[in-house]
Amino acid sequence: MEHKNINKFDIIEKITPVVENTAMRYGFIPIETDFSKESGRWFLRIYLYSKEKPVTLDDCENISRSLSDFLDELIPVKYNLEVSSPGLDRKIKSDKEYIIFEGKLVNVKLKKPIDKTTGEKHLTGRIKNFSENEGLMLETENGTVIIPKENIQKSQLEIE
């Protein structure tokens, strides 16, 4: 049963449409799907989000149940399925998350300071907008700042 040559990227690509359709039926967006091996066991982790409502334990259980039969056909190894919310202080891992979390408070660590006079490499503000070309538009207490994507070292949601 155990297959040695598992390409986790192929599996994620194969299961993504099923995960997205199932999550959307329940009113959620899957913001991250991770398939990885830990201590000899495979884990499929799906993180759900909705602007309209919190992700509850019941939601996670319902989506797990809806997914498991489909996923068992697509994933050729035994795995543990974990469906959860992204957490209140999630690290932002992809460009699409800036769009999903628009309006949320975020802490951004810069590679180099935008304001040379202060030399500040940390900014906190609300995500106003994100575009591939312009970067991240942040509403800070000192006004609106645009941070080029390549100047973002890391960003994380702030607990509100």
8-84 adopts what CATH topology?
A: GMP Synthetase; Chain A, domain 3 (3.30.300)
Residue 1 has pLDDT above 50, yes or no: no
Rounded to 5 degrees, φ, ψ at 140 are -105, 175
Both tokens assigned to 35: 């398939």
Name beta bridge partners: 141: none
Q: Is the pLDDT of residue 57 over 60?
A: yes
Tokens of residue 156, six digits: 């994380």
Assigned CATH topology for domain 95-157: SH3 type barrels. (2.30.30)
3-state helix, strand, coil in the chain (%, to 5): 30, 35, 35
pLDDT value of position 130: 96
pLDDT at 25: 96
